[in-house]
Structure 1
């Protein structure tokens, strides 16, 4: 009985914070939960690596992206998915932009989502889609297109 009680308390202690976190996220974001986790970039030159991570923080999904050359950070961005009324925005903070750049979600179906900001220089469009265990991100605008492929990183236990 004592073992059962201890296991029940451990289970509830672990599940309740997750349930509370999920409740804080607006329904418009819950449909994008497939994006949560850590993703390792594929197809980079030897000696380079990249990762994108997403997690629930309050009522938003907060992410980050990094590309490394060896152990040196070559590129870094802070990302955020936030609901604002009926709209969802992808918000990117990168060193070369003095302010955050906001992209409004214009399409979402199953495990794909498209965000646009026609006023931004590049990219104007960011499309995410899940293909099996691979995350494909396509940035595009003004006749230019760049595709990034990521593989889900198993959570450490």
Structure 2
């Protein structure tokens, strides 16, 4: 009888150890996106476009894309980067698109340096990605099929703060 109790006790200790070590090393998908926090600039021939990200809570970042014209800030896109369960979603709301409603893109690649989100049902883009080159630079990309043609846009950005 003692041997059964000892085996049960040892089994319980092993299970608790495995679960607690897994929990200790588990990194939530949103945690791999924290490097986005800050303000990024994409210089274009028509001026600069900015993207700013901030942490809302343990499961959400909030972003916005905008330009500055004189004293005016013109926001053309707001984004929620939101973790729901084990899934991470990129949810943009673009002015004058999709009837002003948010569109959800589910992450299908998440590493310490790259995030790729997809929504095959969306008109364009069907894919949105962010690739960190180093601490102060990234490349954002949108791609997909539009009007029967494959389209791909790249936005190199550098961190301002």
With the length of structure 2 as denominator, give the TM-score of the two structures. 0.72
CA RMSD of aligned residues (A): 1.8
Q: Which runs of 5+ in 1 are unaligned?
A: 1-25
Partner of 2:131: 129
Structure 2 Cα separation of the partners of residues 103 and 127 of structure 1:
10
Matched, 1:40 2:41: yes
Contact kept, 8 Å, 2:67 with 2:73, in 1: the verdict is yes
Query: Between Structure 1 and Structure 2, whose CA radius of gyration is higher?
Result: 2
Q: Deviations over 1:44-66 (max 9, x none)?
A: 115x2210011101231001011
Deviation at 1:86, TM superposition (A): 1.3
Structure 2 Cα separation of the partners of residues 56 and 82 of structure 1:
10
Structure 2 Cα separation of the partners of residues 73 and 56 of structure 1:
21
With the length of structure 1 as denominator, give the TM-score of the two structures. 0.74
Contact kept, 8 Å, 2:64 with 2:75, in 1: the verdict is no
Deviation at 1:28, TM superposition (A): 2.0
Q: Deviations over 1:7-46 (max 9, x none)?
A: xxxxxxxxxxxxxxxxxxx82201111111110112x115
Structure 2 Cα separation of the partners of residues 36 and 75 of structure 1:
18
